[in-house]
Structure 1
Amino acid sequence: MEICVGKRSFVNGIILVLMLILILLCHSVCKTHSINCSIYDPLPVPHEYYQPGDLVIGEIVSQVVIMSDKLTFTKPPTETLIDEPVSLPKNYQHVLALAFAVKEINENPNILSNISLGFRILNSYYTAKMTYKATLSLLSVQQTFVPNFKCHTQNNLIALIGGCISEVSANMAIVSAIHKTPQLTYGSFLPVQGTKRLFPFLYQMVPSESHQHKGLVQLLQHFKWTWIGLLAVDDDKGDRFLQTIVPLLSQNYVCYDFIVRIPKWGFVDELLELGFESLKSFIIAFGRKANVVFIYGEPPSFMILRIMLLTAPYYSSPIQGRVWLVTSHWDFASQSLQKQLDIQTFHGSMTFTVHSNQLVGFHDFIQMIRPSWAQRDGFIEDFWEQSFSCSLKMSKGQKEEKEESCTGEEKLESIPGLLFEMKMTGHSYSVCNAVYAVAHALNAMYKSHSKHRRQGGDRLAFQNIESWQVHPFLKDIAINNSAGDTVRFDENGEQVTGFDVTNWLMFANGSLVRVKVGRLEPQAPLGKELTIHDDRIVWHPSFNQVLPVSLCNDYCHPGYSKKKKEGEKFCCYDCVLCPEGTVSLQKDMDACTKCPEDQYPSKDHSQCIPKVLCFLSYTENLGIILVTLAIFFSFITMLVLRSFMKHRDTPIAKANNQTLTYSLLISLLLCFLSTLLFIGQPGEETCLLRQMVFGIVFSVALSCVLAKTVTVVLAFMATKPGSGMRKWVGKRLAKSIVLICTFIQAGICILWLSTSPPFPGSDMHSLNGEIILECNEGSATMFYCVLGYMGSLAVISFIVAFSARKLPDSFNEAKFITFSMLVFCSVWLSFVPTYMSTKGKYMVAVEIFSILCSSAGLLGCIFFPKCYIILFRPDLNSREQIMARKSERM
């Protein structure tokens, strides 16, 4: 591969040097002989193609005239400089398109059945002088340049068609507007303020340039290209383009990396001077980052650009592959001298081309073309010789020894696509549509005049019609061509059509392939004008068929956001990591965002992860442990209750009111079981019950402890002689204490339920990555009132028990209650700060643990010593032992 590339570069270099030598030689000859090296022609207009119309009815012959764009170096009348012109063979298809369209119309009996169209085709030479001269010659007597005089009626000019580039069209429009002749331009036409007022008879077969600018922006946005290069021809058109496109790009967040002006094609000495002046800036620009380059120019600019691209590697490193974007003005065409130059630099280019279809019969028509096919075709000889690199002038003795002769039977299919294409191009398609539009307008006019004659109106001879009279019919034309496309004009005189997005494939042998990869429809709804089929696009080989990236800097990956660089364009930025708690989910995010409430950022801040539902479950280890403890203590409590019931007739079981003992044990059992309401996913029922059941049951237990303590104290005080406390000793007082204390707590709970009851809720912010499913207490005040009331009962019980701890008692009841209340108060005093400092399921676990510990403390301190005597020391569980211990204490 390396050897092949080297050989190709060497051959290209030799070709380039030979071209430059040829141009310098021409320039030197002109200077030596004092010859003006401009384009000059003494004849009315050289390279004329003329076919007279057939007189079918009366004296009417309507002509349609096209201005063809061919670049030609011609000779003055007295000097011989270059015997053969150097032209663009590709533009010859426009000539053939006109001839084909006229032929189709003349053979169609439904259109102008009694009238035949004729046409003249003249050359503009890409210069204003020759364009004016050609246009004026159409208004003159044939073969005599006398504008505004008509000496015969067989050649009645009806319309002008042309040109392919904006400058030619504009120069033609100046003359055609004066004579009110309809002009249908099949190339671009620069939008000038007041165009319709200045040129009311101008019709554009190509939509406005502004549509292509908007399409370009949408194309850049589609591929996310924000850093591009701009190439514009160095003239007024290029200035106007840059004034329009630069703000438009900025408004759509696209920046330009560089702007290079392409020299405008002119005279030989100007070409050399401007080309080498621009080459340095061209090389510097293409060493920058932009992989996408948008070109604004017309066919002559393409020739200059090819020379600059070919010359650049000899001054610097080779220019790497780029994605070239161009508008419909551009066509990849070549002069015959350039056809051997490598054009693969433009492989994968994308252009907005004028919408086209293949007209039935056109391919067969051009295959019949031969050098002798028309006697007055002034273009075919040059086209044939330039395309096939041969000579048709053997009979005239002008053939050089080394020049191959043409047979006239060469096949057009063998011509490289740079010189000629067999398929109809967008501009040729527009030429055909222009001819169809004029023909149908004439047909409508003819029918209108025939109708007037039948109705006996004013007779208007059709042969005396003026070109301006076609305008009303042309303006309202709406027809379908043979390809099925509609041809009509809008209120601005622009054809209602769109553009094809074309992907160009260039090959080493000079052939090229157009691939339609999308469509630009200016009339489509906003935002849907551009359609792209990405799977059809072929990129330049340097991109390895991967979507090219054209940015000022690399993408900011997910997890990072853009930060503007000071002193740089807004398309250039640094990438900074997203702050804590935020994410960026896509590339090149302007700012990091927060995740939805039910999600949280990943560690790299590149995605939002769904939060895990968090609650104390029966299936997790902590839940299993707490459930096991609750069931274990419940089982122990039931065993204690059973033991007391079994030994209810013993002194220990009878002491201190059996009812209080059973009530206390049952309430402790319910306290242990109430913890099961705190485990599992919170629901409406569990949230309502858990705190209420816990508060009321625990209040019953504390009330029983308080009643036991009060009973012990009153019983001791009642044993004193003359004491008035004897009447208070009994079961009624104990029951009253339990009921009153319990009803107070129940009243608090009822008030809580009626005002702001607990309900299921979720906390999404306390723990990162978790959604805490919890019971919202509704009113924190009421919750702490319930806890506070239980605490006050515990404190009162502790105080009473502590004061009675030294009273004589066979079983040290007061001391055991004191210890139990000490444990209870210690647990719940430590509960409050611990509960406030924990989150989620651990907060619930703290409350469960506090309930279990405090309940177990009451069970153990009050009932363990008694169970020990009942089960293991029955000898101490007798009346004699009780009385003996009492007497010992006294």
Structure 2
Amino acid sequence: SISTMFLCVCVSILTVFHPCSGGTGLRHAYSAGDIIIGGLKTYAVAKMNSVVNFIFCRYDFRTFLHTQVLIYAIREINQRTPKVLPNITLGYDIYDTCGDVSIAILATLQLLQKQPNPQSCQLNEDIQSTLTEPKTKVVIGDRYSEVSIAVARVVALSSVTQISYASTSGLLSEKLKFPTFLRTITSDKFQTKAIAELVKLFHWKTVAIIGSDDEYGKYGSDALTVIFNQELICIEFVDILPGDFSQNNSKTHTWLNTLVKKINESTAEAIIIFTKDANVGIIMEAAIKYNFNRTWIASDSWSTSAEVSKMPGIELAGQVFGFISKRNEVPGFDAYVKSRFNKTTNAFLDDFNARYKLCSEQAESEGKINCTNRQLGQEQCLPLSCLAGYIDQDESYNAYVAVQVIAEGLRNLLKCDSQRHLSTFTGDKCKSCSNTSYSSPAKDKCLDKTEEFLHWSDPLIIILTFLESFGIIVTVVFAVLFMIYRNSPIVKAVGGYLCFLELISLLACFCLAFTFTGRPTRASCMAGLPLFGIAFSLCISCILANLLQILVGFSFDLKIGSWMKKLNQPAAVVTVVSGIQLALCVPWLYYYPPYPYMDIVGTSIVLHCHKGSEELFIAMLGYNAFLGLICFLFAFKGKQLPDLYKNASLITVSMLVFLIIWILFIPIYINLVGKYKRAVECTAILISSYSILGGHLAPKCYIMLFRKEMNDETAITEYIRKHYEKNAETSLYSLAIRVWSYNLCTACIYATYTDLDANLFLIILSDMSQAVESTNGMSL
């Protein structure tokens, strides 16, 4: 009824898409491994119960051994010495399809799930996401062509390879429809040609063809019809059996009676049966019953069938010519079966042992063996030698070869490193990828490597960009303030016009920090570190010249007075000191300029700037570090001088930060790999620039805006007087110092913080020093 049909459809859908709810009911064997080989084997033959229309499976020794040869081949590869696949273990997940399409599709969907062990049912998102990167990488099976065709359409969705050991339908050779299907047996194209050649060899003029309504029988019958028409061989009749003919129900009997009548009335010299062995058994029973004694031509599906050949009275049916593929013996499998499967176990073997009684070694050696007895394994024990006699040397060997092919393919893949992949043309050798690509995880093609550089959207770069922009704004604001207060003592205290050179160099450093972001170009590489080296050396030279002014201004030793006069030339100091750095960087830019460079790191291409000359790069950093160290020493020495604005102390801190940053920079830069290497360079530049901007210049701006009383010559004079009064001792010598301290300090102030002529300043210093020396000769 319609309601019953609807219920069956609903149950089928729930069974397919929710296989873990209550279990699939599929018979299967599972063994864990790094790579899972799926198997679709006809362990038993499907039969339809005519009363309840339910599929059950009839056991068959030969197909049972097909499952065991697959397991044997996988175990043999895992245990072979030396290892075929180092550090890789093959596992299996083999399902019994009973030769039925619906069961095979259900088993295939189970294989294509991500869940590695189908025995454990855990409904999660991974299991629901079927057909995407399944644990099973290859499926071996099925035996029948119609089943393999249905399975091939499903596994192609996940690009999982399918290898059949017995499906011969020519339809499966169409790669556009079945792109992932392979087989270890020839197609029916060659078999049908061979059958036609046999007919021509015996000069038979008329033939009859019996096929079946499935991909194997229908395609083979059609191919034979085309060939016989081309060869002008008469086809007396073509009978296509229904798909459920093997169910042996009332419909089958009606069709069989019609077929028997056709055969009985036929004058064909040979009858070709191109269908499954289950259908042939029914036809042969009728042929024996009616004593046809005809000439039969068997296709490869039943030419070696033990069930047909052992049928009682089979000789009454007539003579049979059969076709088989090339036969080979599976190495060691016969001994493996006779050794009770080497005392191993699997689900299929356990099920077999539960249904059939195997003879003990003693019973097998003492008793007489009659392997034709149909009661073996049931009323009588089944000798292992008889079971081994069911090993066919075509399908079993083809299944064995399928596993060997998989192992060989994996072995070839293991020989390919990440820079190479398997050739898509031959599949047996590695093909190198280009420098800008790498092998896919499946080792079947080259994928483009991703380019990595400091993108503007990177969170770290956003922070650095903000700091760069903020530094530029602050530098410009400071320059405006210094311009407004350019005639005040505090501006002259930091070097007068030198402070503007210092601000310009800092502005250049902040601007150059932008060149480290984005895709590296030739211009950005050349502008980055070389120009920073020049700009920062100019900044340090201004600070150094300012320190020399302070030290010279407060030095009263007449022995060094003459060369102090020559040394206290700020413009000359800045020119010489920064000129040396310029002499290092100009040849660097001209002869060995930095350039964009691709660094291959794994599956990424890191874009950065090559230094061009590592030696000149080190020389640039070393020279700046040397200048920083000189400034630090001079500033540290000048910390004891009466400096109202703490120039020496602040410069000491700035230079200390600068030196520490670049000392830390070296090991980090050497060991860091990737795009953030340029970010480290940018960070070091920013910290160095901020150390001077914040440590040296920011306090001066604070005084200009919020401590204006300190930006006055009177405040400076008073500060110096108190400094010497505090440090003077009660002696005649110290008394002389007090006498001249005011005049001395005044001279220092004007020499340091005003535009007093340097020659006049030295004359004042000389007179004061002579007075101090003459006072020193008096007694108390």
* TM-score bracket for the superposition, by shorter chain length: 0.3 to 0.5
Structure (1/2) with the larger helix percentage: 2
TM-score (norm 2): 0.44
